[in-house]
Amino acid sequence: MRRNRRQIVTRVFQIAGTILVVLDVVLYFVVYQQTQSQLSSELEQFASLRQRIFDGEARIERLTKYKAGLPDTGQNLAAVIEDHTLHRRTAYSQAFKLLRLVAEQSGAELGKVEFKRNDRSPGPLLPLGAAINAEGSFPQLLKFAHGLETASDLLVIRSFSMTEGEDTPLQLRLLVDMYFTP
Last residue of a domain, one of 49, 84, 119: 84
Does residue 57 surpass a pLDDT of 90?
Answer: yes
Distance CA 84, CA 76 (A): 11
For residues 100-106, average pLDDT: 91
- Mean of the per-residue pLDDT values of the chain: 82
pLDDT of residue 176: 86
pLDDT of residue 52: 94
Distance CA 97, CA 135 (A): 18
Q: Quote the domain boundaries for residue 153.
A: 86-181
The reply to whether 4 and 57 lie within a common domain is yes
Model confidence at 1, pLDDT cuts 50, 70, 90, reads low
For residues 43-64, average pLDDT: 92
For residues 107-129, average pLDDT: 79
Of 8-12, 46-50, 95-99, the one with minimum mean pLDDT is 95-99
The reply to whether 30 and 68 lie within a common domain is yes
Specify burial of residue 134 (Cβ count, 10 A radius: 0-12, 13-18, 19+): buried
pLDDT of residue 46: 94
Does residue 103 surpass a pLDDT of 80?
Answer: yes
The reply to whether 165 and 95 lie within a common domain is yes
pLDDT tens-digit profile of 132-160?
999 888 889 889 988 888 887 777 888 88
Distance CA 179, CA 123 (A): 11
> What domain count does the chain have?
2
Model confidence at 45, pLDDT cuts 50, 70, 90, reads very high
Distance CA 45, CA 112 (A): 69
Q: What CATH number is attached to the domain comprising 94?
A: 3.30.70.60
Name every residue whose Cβ is closer than 8 Å to that of residue 92 and which is 6 or more positions away in sequence. 115, 128
The reply to whether 94 and 78 lie within a common domain is no
Closest to 155 in 3D by CA, of 135, 120, 122, 126:
126
The reply to whether 71 and 2 lie within a common domain is yes
For residues 6-35, average pLDDT: 88
pLDDT of residue 127: 78
For residues 111-123, average pLDDT: 78
Q: What does DSSP assign to residue 169? A: S
The reply to whether 45 and 119 lie within a common domain is no
Last residue of a domain, one of 44, 68, 84: 84
